[in-house]
Structure 1
């Protein structure tokens, strides 16, 4: 390759750099890349003699240049080739530039004192030559001033989103440069062509298929010296904005690291220069040979006549900053109209036309709609108009509180285009981007009484529209509403200090556990947590807060998804035991098919918080029937709370984990909510976490429910609902902490809807792409929660990558050690034990009670308090009951019940009776609770027995069998010493609770080794 002057023409404005690199090549060839060394191997530097094909020396061209009008200029092939030629050209062209009389100047007669002139050499000579050569290009310049308001606003939205993710900010130049490329590609393709001449010197146009944009970059060389390099961003018109941004930043990184290669300087057909970064308002740069247009971008500032005005005045007037963009083009091939149309299109793009900002937002994955350009509607002289806007501000604040969640960034997959509901669009209320700098009353939002609309929207969007969305305005209590507002609008959620290392540690554990099982037990069904790993740090925060607040205990009910992960990383179940279940080590107590699958099993453990607190925890066993475990857990919690002093301390935490499809689709969820604040079932609030992976087996949400969210059923009990993006673990732990605080403060249910995804099928052997191909393409491209969080922490400088990977490696080592131990422990051969002996006749159990005790109980049943007025009909009914007992030595069923319950209470055995209309009795027979005829005060005679040593609880249940029986099963499970009874109002009503009977009462002992003393009262001999 002969690297003479003809080879360097492709470098354009970078020709000086070739000379500088050549000097380095001569001094230190090894300091250059192989490509540069190959280029310089036969290079002839500028100013050295050239040879023709015969080997004869060729003298440099010395023909004088002519400075003409913008047409008729001599061919661009006559470029200046050495410093002497520059001098000749300047001298020769002097008269043509300016015809001045030959007069003697006083300065010449009296020379000024100066330093002797120095000749330009090397790089400086090349730059001078290039500038002189550019005079041959007949140029014209188009100028357009563009309002920069929308550019500023949308850039702020983008950078706010990227900043929260630890991403770098985008610059104005990124957006303007991309708009220039779009304008050429869409509207002015002729701007990317260049003038050239053929071998005979005849002019021609060289057309390019793509835009190769030269980026003028100022480089500080040290010692007060600066230089300009113009690396080339190739095929820019084929890129979306994200691709353009990556290519742009890659070039800048190379410049800063001095890593630009030979190819980075070749082939520019347009150039972009931005002297506005140093305050230049307008620039008409030189167009170099070999390019069709150079675009200059000026500073972004207010027009000169407004630059002394204060910001508030400018905001009221609706004055925008402007940016001046110039197009200096080769007039031989580009005409003024085409350049004007090009700048007009750039203008249109920068004010949001042609979906410019929408495309930018989409390519960057910004899950919001871009701000739109609209005309100002301000009326400075109309008080009514100002009042109208102020009223609309109040409406805008409320609608963000009510519906802000609709535009929150909740879906980690971002596979649906974001929408802007009309009620959340400020334009609906007559507010435009011009109002963003105007002040309004806020009603105290953000802790201030007045702020600009831009600041107010910033607070509201940060509160309700980021990776947390909250629904709470359906709550009737003003106190609860304000409590939530203070924590969101007052940045209370943000003030919670996240223990980042703890979150990362828990994510490491969650991901490593699933990856380990996926590697060691390929295809084995385990219902992995991949895609929803943030659940583990959420549970960790809730249980840590419970432990640190001296809670008595916690009971957890969980779905299949991630259950093994919860057992390992929350319940601290022995890892060897978990792996033994995968190794098919048979439990000796499980005979001929008894027992249950590993993801149905329960566990008991002690949770330790990072601060040293401890909390007894129990994970309830449950069958495949979805959501059945909910009321079971509530019953277990109520049973524990009834045994803790003081009463109603609600010191046991119920924590329920749900799948999204089951939460919306299973009626038992609504039944459990309905009982949550009734006296017989109240547990002081349950924390619900929906692991919302946006699919139910193969069923998409639009077929699985009739509401936007699976959590809508929780609104029936005015529970606040916190939606959170599962790929933002810090947001997840913030809402987890807030949910716990809400439960402790108001003793009500609270719901967290963690929106995530399911990386595999319903189980590990299922292929979900049959029914959700687009969703699973998006999932396949999604990095794991842990990786994304590590990336964020490293970008923010919170940890190093080595620290993150070391933590993961440590946990993987722990898993491997447990697996090795499990595989080393070979199970002993299992022998089927002989069948148990028949029970035969049950041994006689003495159940009789002394007559004196029965008399005491019977007499107390009618020993009303002095100020109690009994219903007149009951007076007669109780008189007949006394006659039967005293004279006939006989009792009816209801009296026998009361005597039995009373004797147990005297003996110290708690008694709980629950059923529909159980207190009076369906047939008006029981009357275990009497109601004052005048004031409806209630009196339970058995609870006032003088010698009573235990409590008698009797309640009317809600009109439910399924959840109601499940609750009583859970209650009896946790208190084996109590007599727990559930009464069906009519015998066949038990049919509604058949799942609890089949899966728990009948099968729990075989499946989970659980015994239960629950008594079913089924009238009519059913």
Structure 2
């Protein structure tokens, strides 16, 4: 197993070339399955391969993990969903009889390890390759010796000629090749391998070598990326605002864009999506029940699809996914790694449900830049807050994500505008946004920075329709009197001053509270009682 991944163009017999990509993968068996499927789907999307004929995924499994890991089943059930299908994946299962050192009869309940594929009536071909590779001869790593638990099978394997020996003998017997030719081939391959092995001792990889051409110009933690203006020109805000709030004739549109006041959470999010679409970014939103409406006729209408006039391709994708976390998060995670000019978001039905994707968070999402040298800007929307839903539907368990992002409690980072790299050096960000305008900016910031970082949004529940959780249109604009930018632009605010002065209560103040999210509104209501 080669964990870092690699890619290469290979010539074919007809003179053409084919691009092969080996995806970086952890030791968590089968966790890479939805990642490969996602990479295939994203390649198809960005290369306009609508017939799904130019890009295909191949997955190689061991028998024990294929039968035992639940993500295999989850990935299979993505295969026919509208925004997940790839047109088919080739699964090669090595039924080598050594799943660790467990007897096959103790490792699965079905006769064949591939029986899980029968749930979708996938064609299964049982092939006797008569090939015992070195992997099978000596187990799956250098420490485990299968002879202790599988002595009979190991004796059979030991007495069996290798695949190379079988193939050589067949070629010699058929007269297609001579013994001298075989020896020359051996010498040539040995020479190449020895030379490459010798060169590898002095090889020092460069991080930029691992990023594809589409990611040229993006910055690593060693480089300084300045804060970007994520504000939008007023005329564009009004234009897209009108487009996304104009409904069929028998519907009454919102008036918030026309008045410029009282912009709520939903419209702030829609404006972020729409303005990114206008700028040519792909926005993909998936999750459990994210595509929904209230039209009695059952017809579908997506206002964001009208944000870009005469768009040649569908830049906005919204899709319900299966009731899965592990496979779906793996799929969306790697989708975000294919094209930096995309905003890919996965929303849990409730924040608690993200627990089911913990392997993806640990192995790919939070550590991918360090381990695999790959950046991702995947956004997690995790509904969070004790709002009467009970303990199983209330906490996104932010402590998990905060622990992942914490490095040194006692190191105070540089915060000067030309020196700070705090966000670039961390592996992810966790935010609990307080206003619709700040939510707008944090989403747009994902695409406007010169690097990509994962983002957790502890998305609110009761703020979605809270009477006081509103923003003015001017807070979304690219020009505004701002303490950090002057009059040059707006961005995500790390600190928002309390706009409610409550002058009658100012005398005798003894406590200053820094808070975020819905806590501000609850405290504000409490102090005026």
- TM category (shorter chain) comes to 0.5 to 0.7
Unaligned runs of 5+ in 1: 1-559, 561-598, 729-753, 829-835, 921-926
- Which of 95, 119, 126 is matched with 1:692 structurally? 95
The answer to whether the Cα contact below 8 Å between 1:694 and 1:757 also exists between their aligned partners in 2 is no
Matched, 1:703 2:65: no
Aligned to 2:115: 712
Question: What's 2:487 paired with?
Answer: none
Pick from 166, 169, 181: which aligns with 1:788? 166
- 8 Å Cα contact 1:692-1:757 kept in structure 2: no
Shift of 1:629: 0.8
Gapped regions of structure 2 (runs ≥ 5): 206-220, 386-395, 397-529
Match of 1:941 among 293, 297, 303: 303
Deviation at 1:661, TM superposition (A): 0.8
The corresponding residue for 1:443 is none
The separation in 2 between residues aligned to 1:914 and 1:718, in whole angstroms, is 26
Which secondary structure state, in structure 2, belongs to the residue aligned with residue 914 of structure 1?
A: strand
Say whether 1:763 aligns with 2:135.
no
Q: Hey, what's the Cα distance between the residues in 2 that align with 1:757 and 1:724?
A: 18
Instruction: Go from structure 1 to structure 2 and tell me whether the alpha carbon gap of 1:804 and 1:888 turns closer, same or farther (over 3 Å shift).
Output: closer
- Does the Cα contact within 8 Å between 1:691 and 1:756 map onto a contact in 2? no
Q: What do residues 108-156 of structure 1 show as CA deviations (whole Å, max 9, x unaligned)?
A: xxxxxxxxxxxxxxxxxxxxxxxxxxxxxxxxxxxxxxxxxxxxxxxxx
CA contact (8 A) 2:49 2:55 kept: no
Alignment match, 1:812: 190
Please name the residue that 1:182 is paired with: none
- Note closer, same or farther for the CA distance 1:755–1:680 as it changes in structure 2 (3 Å cut): farther
Q: Is the 8 A contact 1:757 1:779 kept in 2?
A: no
Which residue of structure 1 aligns with residue 442 of structure 2? none
- Partner Cα separation in structure 1 for residue 198 and residue 222 of structure 2: 40
Residue 638 of structure 1 and its aligned partner are, at CA, apart by 1.4
1:803 to 181, 190, 201: 181
Give the number of the structure with larger relative contact order, counting CA–CA contacts within 8 Å between residues 6 or more apart. Answer: 2
1:998 to 362, 366, 375: 362
Q: Counterpart of 2:378?
A: 1014
Q: Distance in 1 between matches of 2:188 and 2:31?
A: 38
Matched residues in 2 for 1:987 and 1:849: separation? 30
Equivalences for residues 967-1006 of structure 1 within 5 A? 967-1006=331-370
User: In structure 2, what is the equivalent of residue 853 of structure 1?
Assistant: 236
1:665 Cα offset (Å): 0.6
Within a 5 Å distance, the mapping from 1:650-665 to structure 2 comes to 650-665=53-68
Q: Report how far residue 717 of structure 1 moved.
A: 1.8
Distance 1:681 1:827, change over 3 A: closer
CA distance in 1, matches of 2:144, 2:378: 39
Q: How does 1:180-195 map to 2 (within 5 A)?
A: none
Q: Distance in 1 between matches of 2:168 and 2:64?
A: 31
User: Are 1:641 and 2:31 matched, yes or no?
Assistant: no
The answer on whether the counterparts of 2:42 and 2:335 sit within 8 Å (CA) in structure 1 is yes
- 1:821/1:912 CA distance change after superposition, 3 Å: closer
Q: Distance in 2 between matches of 1:1012 and 1:959?
A: 23
Is contact 1:603-1:618 (8 Å) kept? Answer: yes
TM-score by length of 1: 0.34
**Given the superposition, is the C-alpha separation of residues 764 and 862 from structure 1 closer, same or farther in structure 2, using an over 3 Å criterion?**
same
CA contact (8 A) 2:284 2:344 kept: yes
- 2:244–2:306 CA contact under 8 A, matched in 1: no
Task: Give the 3 Å change call, closer, same or farther, for CA 979–946 of structure 1 in structure 2.
Answer: closer
Native 8 Å contact 1:762 1:768 kept in 2: no
Q: 2:196 and 2:232 mapped to 1: Cα distance?
A: 56
Alignment of 1:196-211 (within 5 A): none
Separation of aligned partners in 1, 2:29 and 2:203: 35
Q: Evaluate the alpha carbon distance shift between residue 1017 and residue 948 of structure 1 in structure 2; reply closer, same or farther with a 3 A threshold.
A: farther
CA deviations 1:820-851 (Å, max 9, x no partner) are 4556x5989xxxxxxx8998xx9543222233
Q: 1:850 to 1:640 in 2, by over 3 A?
A: same
Q: Hey, what does 1:21 align to over in structure 2?
A: none
Query: In 2 relative to 1, CA 967–986 (structure 1 residues): closer, same or farther, beyond 3 Å?
Result: same
Q: TM-score, normalised by structure 2?
A: 0.64
SS, match of residue 276 in structure 2:
helix
CA RMSD after TM alignment:
2.8
Change (3 A) 1:945 1:888: closer
Show CA shifts across 1:980-1014 (max 9, x none).
11111101111111111111111111112111111
Structure 1 distance, partners of 2:65, 2:82, is: 27
Does 1:773 pair with 2:156?
A: no
Match of 2:15 in 1: 612
- Listed as ranges, the matches of 1:376-395 within 5 Å are none
2:267 corresponds in structure 1 to 895
1:271-350 pair list within 5 angstroms: none
Out of 258, 279, 284, the position equivalent to 1:912 is 284
1:959 to 320, 323, 329: 323
- For residues 330-479 of structure 1, what are the structure 2 equivalents within 5 Å? none
Q: Please state whether the residue corresponding to 1:677 is helix, strand or coil.
A: coil
Aligned residues: 369
Counterpart CA distance in 2 for 1:969 and 1:822 is: 31
Given that residues 98 and 139 in structure 2 are in contact (C-alpha distance below 8 angstroms), is that contact kept between their aligned partners in structure 1? no
* Structure ranking higher in helix proportion: 1
Displacement of 1:765 = 3.2
Query: Relative to 1, partners in 2 of residues 1:898 and 1:687: Cα closer, same or farther, differing over 3 Å?
Result: same
The DSSP-based 3-state class of the residue aligned with 1:938 is coil
- The 1:698–1:649 alpha-carbon spacing in structure 2 relative to 1, beyond 3 Å, is closer
- Larger-Rg structure: 1
